[in-house]
Amino acid sequence: MRRQLVVWGTATLPKKNVLTDASAGPRIAVLIYAGGLFHTMGRPILYEVVDKPATSCLIVLCTAVWLYIQKHGIGYSDVGISYEAVVESGQYWRVVTAAFSHISFIHLMFNMSALWSLGIIENPVHAQLGWRQYLKYTVLLVFLSGALVLGMYHVLSHRFRMERYKRVTAVGYSCVVFGLMTILSCLQPSSNLNLLGLLNLPISFAPFESLIFTSIIVPQASFVGHLAGIIVGYLIGWGLFQGISDFWALTGTIWLGIAFVASLKRSSPFQLDWIQVETVTENASPVRLIGGVLQRPPAGNANAAVARAEDIV
């Protein structure tokens, strides 16, 4: 059984720039070659899907997001992560949308191909993780790498006066891909990584080898984003978050999801009429459990209504 891995860089562009598929003309040969890289010799694809359920669902999710983006003509500046948009404008939802969004089909294809190859991590036989641990690490990679990218942008733009990093906009799943590759290098340091069928390298050095290799062949790739994924991947691989139980991981994910939806509703340009976020003011009446039902008494009669209720808890 032979597996090969290709890593495609997260696309980063100055705000309002557009990258079209036509600009990727010189890389068409790489695209054609990549089509034959990811398969398991002599094994039906359905078996692979069963072995990688979480990976398969994430690939479907990213592909569905790409289709939505193409249908509605959404660009980098609409969903990408940038210091200017997230930190200065408070559009925190971009940390999530940037990770799962791809504008170019080539970008999507390479990231999903790499993710499919790295899906071996969720197989408990090969990497001792399982799909629950895999999803837990994926959530950590999405949010922590996004936060680290913003922190690096802050240092570069304020400390080193590199103002362009306030406007650099990045999209793509590459932060997570590089993080998973790093975790795999910690779990299986004796394995090898095949780069484009040209180099066979020890996976213990694969994260930094791929970082340099990707930066050379894809100049517009996000060096900062990939490096952030590698750093978070090492923190996970070294066991820093090993003590997080499934319960707390699920609870944290739910709260992060609520925060994401609230931020998306309040500061995104998208029409989300089906989401209602109620603003609580100081004069708002308290919610009480009356007769087994949560009720908010009228503002002027809150105390009277509460006093008349016989079964207030």
User: Among all residues, which ones are annotated catalytic?
Assistant: 174, 226
CA distances from 36 to 7, 29, 55, 103, 137 (A): 15, 12, 19, 23, 29
Q: How many CB atoms lie within 10 A of CB 272?
A: 12
Among the listed residues 118, 253, 123, the one whose alpha carbon sits nearest the alpha carbon of residue 178? 118
CB 122 within 8 A of CB 52: yes
Position 77, amino acid = S
Single out the residue of 124, 136, 123, 172 nearest to residue 19, CA to CA: 172
Task: Count how many Cα atoms sit within 13 Å of the Cα of residue 93 in the half-sphere of its side chain.
Answer: 17
- Angle between the N-to-C axes of helices 131-154 and 53-72, in degrees from 0 to 180, rounded to the nearest 10: 50
Under a CB-based contact definition with an 8 Å cutoff, are residues 116 and 38 in contact? Answer: yes
In 3-state terms, what secondary structure has residue 74?
Answer: coil
Please give the helix or strand (H or E) that residue 192 lies within, else none.
strand 192-195
Q: How many residues does the chain have?
A: 313
DSSP string over 45-58: HHHHHHH-HHHHHH
